Amino acid sequence: MVTAINDDLFSPEVVNNPYPYFSHLREEDPVHWNKLYELWVVSTYEDLVWVTRRPEFFSSEVWKRDPRSPYPAIDESDMGLYQEIRDFFSDWFIQHDRPEHLEMRKVVHGYFTPKAMELWRPMVLAAVKELMDEAQESGRMDVMNDFAVPLPLLVIARMMDMPNQDRKFIRSLAEKLLFLGRGETDRMQPLSDGIKGLQEYLSPIVAERIKNPGDDLLSVLANGEKNGIYSRD
């Protein structure tokens, strides 16, 4: 029996436990038209691959191109923050179409070769061990909160050669950025705080890596900024 699909993607139930929701979507309507937010929700791997391999039909520049008001709705007093956040995310690497996206990819292409990625194996294993040791010490583990979420953040921080003692602070900023996918009407303020905190933290580090580059990922990105590839339009 086909059961109705709740189109409120940002309800507390879906945000707090999205897995049953998207599992139901994949089973009942893998390419689903969401009437509430007027968008397509594609939920199977095969369909997502099909979409991502056809840039001539589908744009990544959502923040630049989508003319609609914020959805879900936000407090009217936060519309100024919303515009600042739109400007910020519009300039992200993944928010560019070709040819700009291809030019940006050239900067990091050499850093993500199979040979380079194999050299990261000890680093990733060390990050896994660190998180498992923390769980053993505490005597409990929430697999998502204590492992799946912090692991990629920890690995990326090490790829960028961020100070290990700053890991908890970086995670706190990342958690604020996750308000982007929440439904509270007042979500703009913590999101804005996360963006500003990230900029204040990274700006002096990036400036230093431009002057004194290393072999880390942040130095590679900083070099792209120095050469004008990542400069704002």
pLDDT tens by residue, 187-221: 999 999 999 999 999 999 989 998 888 888 888 88
The confidence score (pLDDT) of residue 1 equals 47
- Give all domains of the chain, ordered by start, each with its CATH number: 1-58 (no CATH), 97-226 (1.10.630.10)
Do strands 39-42 and 31-34 pair parallel, antiparallel, or not at all (unpaired)?
antiparallel
How many residues does the structure list for the chain? 233
pLDDT at 100 (0 to 100): 87
- Would you state the pLDDT for residue 24? 93
Q: What is the mean pLDDT of residues 92-114?
A: 85
Global confidence as pTM: 0.75
Distance between CA 212 and CA 210 in Å, rounded? 6
- State the pLDDT at residue 47: 96
How sure is the predictor about 233, in pLDDT bands with cuts at 50, 70 and 90? very low
Residue 127 has pLDDT above 60, yes or no: yes
Decide: 93 and 217 in contact? Cβ < 8 Å. no
User: How sure is the predictor about 228, in pLDDT bands with cuts at 50, 70 and 90?
Assistant: low
User: How far apart, in whole angstroms, are the C-alpha atoms of residue 5 and residue 35?
Assistant: 11
- Residue 99, CA atoms < 13 Å, CB-side half-sphere: 0
Please give the Cα distance from 143 to 6 (Å, whole number): 27
pLDDT, average across residues 84-104: 88
Task: Give which of 111, 93, 110 is closest to 102, Cα–Cα.
Answer: 93
> Residue 35: which residues within 8 A CB-CB, separation 6 or more?
7
